[in-house]
């Protein structure tokens, strides 16, 4: 552990372990097979990177995407760790150069895609190499019970036979108990150490709202984070293009990303986002796994994700650096129909039922009024340690519980009954709100006793209450046209034997905890250092966050050191970065403080470090 801490301090500038990192690293150091599940931002990459530096030989890391390999190798190189990747993006000469570096024992880590690693030629090549261990990133891809199954991962089961004396270590951010068991079985892990961290991400602020003005709702989130990086997810390519185009026309620096773009264009758009040339990437779920960008400050789902596992991973791309970030989910009942169509079109019989069940749970998450953090960790078999998370719309009292939900629900279900259970939510809302639409009048439903009972309520609220009754099992959607049908539970509600919980959104407020990590930070100096970071990154051809993370810049702008020797006390600055950038950093700070008549060289201590939790690990263990 002492050698690991020394390595972490030297190369990464961290002075302590986050939860479960010590245990995961210990398994890699002692050659015991392991499966480690840590949330995105919990530091799982370091769990194999640090042991690879400490141990003799070279570690092989399985990684699913070219962009992710490049990101990690760039970051390791900047930290002074010799690493390389081998994939189809390299020329034959570049692949030969990497092979020679491996033969000479120059590398500590070699990244490869799963389909390449299991090729006999690759296995024969690695048989002559001193391997320290094999690490498999995004290991949930091996399980067809997971949310991102990839058939090529199944072939990794052959690694145990090919390298019987080399330990195998699997890592993922999202895995239920069933998926964890499948991973260990598929990889033939021997008596593995199973390490499962808390799935809670306390630095993320979750909000869920019904879609009524999607561009306006997206702008509301974006405008809370000026000049900061964010991701907007849509289900379809067409919606990605339309949303990106509209935001761009409104003056936002944004680009689209989806599988329909030409590969070169898709790559260019992704790199523009990573390099902070644009602030917003509007994307399908194809975007995200391939980046390691730490300073995404918000993720907006403009449409509902297909599962809670998918939502956990996609929203988890915000705040990977441990700083506060916002996750906004904007949903509509139509999203469910879209996903049902896609699942029925693309999934085989083995997976279809599981996918539809996962979709149903995601829909319930959207419609519920229970703490978002509590629901997410409960899905993965855990309990939140506190009653009020302080970081979601429910616990921030942005959602109002209605005082007499039974009577309101009886009005809605009575209307469904009087409409002979032949119409959907949109039509039912028209009747309840007293619409003069041609369809309502032609059907004679303006003569129903329930007609206009909720005319004073907004369309958004009425539709939201219908969704909530569906989520609570009083109504269900049926058939191709999602006709509303009353369930047995709904009949009990009509008799007054069951009382639902109905809510409506209230005026929004910011989470009190969302600003404390800016305490004492000079925003002008932060922006000045941010520009310095971008300039250095452009010169070196790497993403800005690879040079310094936002946490590092905030500490520099808080303590304002002008002495190079003090920089090792700053989060994220190790020996390598001190030697490369130390002089530039302190000169930049000194010039700014002089120009702004600002006090410099404040004492660096945990007592006045508002980012203390991120240094010591703010993620709770199981």
Find the CATH number of the domain harbouring 141: 3.40.50.300
CA distance 310 to 383: 20
Query: pTM for this one?
Result: 0.80
Say whether both 495 and 535 belong to one domain.
no
Please check whether residue 551 lies inside any domain of the structure.
yes
What does the pLDDT look like over 356-371, one tens digit per residue? 888 989 988 998 888 9
| Length of the chain in terms of residues written | 622
Q: Which residues of 39-50 are buried (b: 16+ CB within 10 A; e: fewer)?
A: bbbbbbbbbbbb
Residue 622 has pLDDT above 60, yes or no: no
Q: Last residue of some domain: 388, 422, 449?
A: 388
**pLDDT grade for 181, boundaries at 50, 70 and 90:** very high
Say whether both 413 and 339 belong to one domain.
no
What pLDDT shows up at residue 499? Answer: 93
String of DSSP letters for 118-140: TSHHHHHHHHTS-EEEEEESSGG
What does the pLDDT look like over 313-345, one tens digit per residue? 899 899 988 899 999 999 988 898 889 888 888
Averaged pLDDT for residues 514-524: 77
CA distances from 346 to 147, 149, 305, 351, 353 (A): 14, 13, 16, 10, 12
Spacing of C-alpha 295 from chain mean position: 12
What pLDDT shows up at residue 619? Answer: 28
Please check whether residue 374 lies inside any domain of the structure.
yes
Burial class of residue 134 (count of CB atoms within 10 Å of its CB; 0-12, 13-18, 19+): buried
What pLDDT shows up at residue 294? Answer: 86
Q: Nearest to residue 455, comparing CAs of 429, 437, 475?
A: 429
CA distance 66 to 183: 23
Q: Where residue 531 sits, what CATH number does that domain have?
A: 1.10.150.80
Mean pLDDT of the chain: 89
String of DSSP letters for 342-386: HHHHH--HHHHHHHHHHHHHHHHHHH--S-HHHHHHHHTT---SS
Q: Last residue of some domain: 455, 483, 505?
A: 505
Residue 220 has pLDDT above 80, yes or no: yes
What pLDDT shows up at residue 454? Answer: 96
Say whether both 455 and 533 belong to one domain.
no
Residue 343 domain boundaries: 204-388
213 DSSP assignment: S
What does the pLDDT look like over 423-453, one tens digit per residue? 999 999 999 999 999 999 999 999 999 999 9
What does the pLDDT look like over 189-216, one tens digit per residue? 999 999 998 889 999 999 999 898 999 9
How many C-alpha atoms does 429 have within 13 Å on its Cβ side?
14
**pLDDT grade for 223, boundaries at 50, 70 and 90:** very high
Q: Nearest to residue 74, comparing CAs of 66, 122, 99?
A: 66
What pLDDT shows up at residue 287? Answer: 65
Averaged pLDDT for residues 22-35: 95
Spacing of C-alpha 605 from chain mean position: 31
Averaged pLDDT for residues 272-280: 93
Say whether both 374 and 241 belong to one domain.
yes
Alpha helices in 380-419 (DSSP H): 405-418
Among 343-357, 387-401, 428-442, the minimum mean pLDDT is found in: 343-357
Higher-confidence residue of 401 and 593: namely 593
16 DSSP assignment: S
CA distance 461 to 289: 35
CA distance 67 to 69: 5
The vertex-395 CA angle with 394 and 400, nearest 5°, equals 45
What pLDDT shows up at residue 606? Answer: 63
What pLDDT shows up at residue 289? Answer: 53
Say whether both 349 and 217 belong to one domain.
yes
CA distance 354 to 176: 13
Which residue's structure tokens are 């020679």? 100
456 DSSP assignment: T
Q: Nearest to residue 140, comparing CAs of 286, 39, 59, 236?
A: 39
Please check whether residue 622 lies inside any domain of the structure.
no
Say whether both 268 and 407 belong to one domain.
no
First to last CA, the chain: 22
Please check whether residue 457 lies inside any domain of the structure.
yes
Q: Last residue of some domain: 505, 540, 573?
A: 505
Please name the residues in contact with 296: beta carbons below 8 A apart, sequence gap of 6 or more: 229, 230, 231, 317, 318, 319, 320, 325
Q: Where residue 464 sits, what CATH number does that domain have?
A: 1.10.10.10
What does the pLDDT look like over 42-81, one tens digit per residue? 788 999 999 999 999 999 999 887 878 888 898 899 889 9
Say whether both 408 and 265 belong to one domain.
no
What does the pLDDT look like over 291-314, one tens digit per residue? 678 899 999 999 999 999 889 989
Say whether both 235 and 320 belong to one domain.
yes
What does the pLDDT look like over 596-616, one tens digit per residue? 999 999 988 765 554 433 333
Phi, psi of 284 (to 5 degrees): -80, 175
What pLDDT shows up at residue 620? Answer: 27
What pLDDT shows up at residue 440? Answer: 95
Residue 551 has pLDDT above 80, yes or no: yes
Averaged pLDDT for residues 158-168: 94
Please name the residues in contact with 117: beta carbons below 8 A apart, sequence gap of 6 or more: 60, 62, 123, 156, 159
Say whether both 76 and 187 belong to one domain.
yes
Long-range contacts of 478-484 (CB under 8 A, 24+ apart): 481/424, 482/333, 482/337, 482/424, 482/425, 483/421, 483/422, 483/423, 483/424, 484/416, 484/421, 484/423, 484/424, 484/425, 484/428
CA distance 142 to 136: 10
Say whether both 499 and 543 belong to one domain.
no
Whether residue 619 contacts residue 198, with contact meaning beta carbons closer than 8 Å, is answered with yes
What pLDDT shows up at residue 322? Answer: 86
Please check whether residue 458 lies inside any domain of the structure.
yes
Averaged pLDDT for residues 548-567: 93
Please check whether residue 621 lies inside any domain of the structure.
no
Residue 275 has pLDDT above 60, yes or no: yes
Say whether both 191 and 209 belong to one domain.
no
Say whether both 116 and 213 belong to one domain.
no
Please check whether residue 393 lies inside any domain of the structure.
no
Please check whether residue 396 lies inside any domain of the structure.
no
What pLDDT shows up at residue 133? Answer: 97
Percent above pLDDT 70 for the chain: 93
CB atoms within 10 A of CB 613: 15
User: Helix, strand or coil for residue 541?
Assistant: coil
Q: For the chain, how many structural domains are there in total?
A: 4
């Amino acid at each position: 552990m002492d050698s690991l801490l020394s390595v972490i301090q030297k190369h990464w500038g961290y002075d302590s372990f986050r939860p479960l990192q010590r245990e995961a690293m210990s398994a890699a150091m002692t050659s015991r097979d392991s499966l480690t599940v840590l949330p995105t931002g919990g530091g799982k990459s370091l769990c194999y990177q640090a042991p690879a530096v400490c141990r003799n030989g070279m570690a092989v890391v399985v990684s699913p995407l070219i962009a992710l390999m490049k990101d990690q190798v760039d970051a390791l190189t900047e930290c002074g760790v010799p690493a390389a990747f081998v994939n189809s993006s390299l020329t034959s000469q570049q692949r030969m150069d990497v092979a020679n570096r491996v033969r000479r024992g120059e590398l500590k880590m070699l990244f490869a895609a799963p389909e390449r690693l299991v090729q006999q030629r690759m296995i024969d090549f690695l048989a002559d190499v001193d391997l320290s261990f094999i690490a498999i990133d995004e290991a949930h891809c091996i399980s067809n019970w997971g949310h991102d199954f990839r058939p090529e991962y199944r072939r990794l089961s052959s690694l145990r036979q090919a390298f019987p004396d080399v330990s195998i270590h699997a890592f993922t951010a999202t895995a239920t108990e069933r998926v964890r068991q499948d991973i260990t079985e598929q990889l033939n892990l021997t008596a593995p150490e199973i390490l499962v961290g808390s799935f809670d991400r306390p630095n993320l602020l979750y909000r869920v709202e019904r879609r009524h003005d999607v561009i306006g709702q997206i702008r509301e989130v974006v405008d809370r984070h000026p000049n900061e990086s964010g991701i907007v997810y849509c289900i379809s390519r067409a919606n990605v293009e339309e949303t990106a185009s509209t935001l761009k026309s409104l003056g936002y620096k944004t680009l689209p990303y989806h599988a329909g773009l030409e590969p070169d264009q898709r790559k260019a758009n992704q790199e523009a986002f990573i390099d902070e040339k644009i602030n917003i990437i509007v994307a399908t779920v194809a975007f995200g796994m391939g980046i390691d960008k730490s300073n995404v400050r918000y993720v907006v789902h403009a449409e509902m994700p297909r599962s809670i596992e998918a939502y956990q991973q996609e929203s988890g791309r915000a705040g990977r650096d441990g700083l506060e970030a916002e996750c906004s989910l904007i949903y509509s009942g139509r999203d469910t129909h879209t996903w049902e169509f896609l699942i029925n079109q693309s999934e085989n019989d083995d997976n279809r039922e599981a996918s539809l069940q996962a979709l149903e749970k995601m829909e319930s998450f959207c419609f519920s009024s229970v703490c978002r953090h509590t629901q997410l960790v409960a899905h993965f078999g855990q309990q939140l340690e506190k009653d009020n998370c302080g970081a979601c719309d429910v616990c921030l009292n942005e959602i109002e519980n209605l005082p007499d939900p039974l009577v309101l629900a009886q009005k809605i279900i009575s209307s469904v009954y009087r409409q002979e259970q032949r119409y959907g939510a949109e039509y039912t809302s028209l009747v309840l709100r007293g619409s003069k639409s041609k369809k309502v009048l032609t059907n004679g439903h303006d003569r129903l006793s329930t007609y206009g009972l909720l005319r004073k309520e907004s369309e958004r609220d009425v539709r939201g209450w219908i969704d909530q009754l569906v989520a609570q099992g009083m109504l269900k959607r049926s058939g191709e046209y999602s006709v509303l049908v009353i369930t047995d539970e709904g009949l009990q509600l009509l008799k007054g034997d069951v009382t639902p919980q109905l809510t409506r959104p209230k005026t929004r407020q910011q989470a009190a905890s969302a600003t404390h990590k800016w305490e004492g930070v000079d925003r002008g100096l932060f922006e000045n250092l941010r520009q310095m970071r971008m300039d250095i990154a452009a010169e070196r051809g790497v993403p800005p966050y690879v040079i310094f993370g936002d946490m590092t810049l905030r500490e520099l702008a808080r303590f304002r050191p002008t002495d190079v020797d003090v920089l090792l006390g700053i989060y994220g600055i190790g020996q390598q970065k001190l030697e490369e950038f130390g002089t530039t950093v302190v000169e930049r700070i000194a010039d700014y403080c002089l120009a702004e008549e600002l006090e410099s060289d404040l004492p660096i201590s945990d007592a006045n470090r508002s980012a203390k939790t991120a240094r010591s690990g703010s993620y709770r263990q199981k």
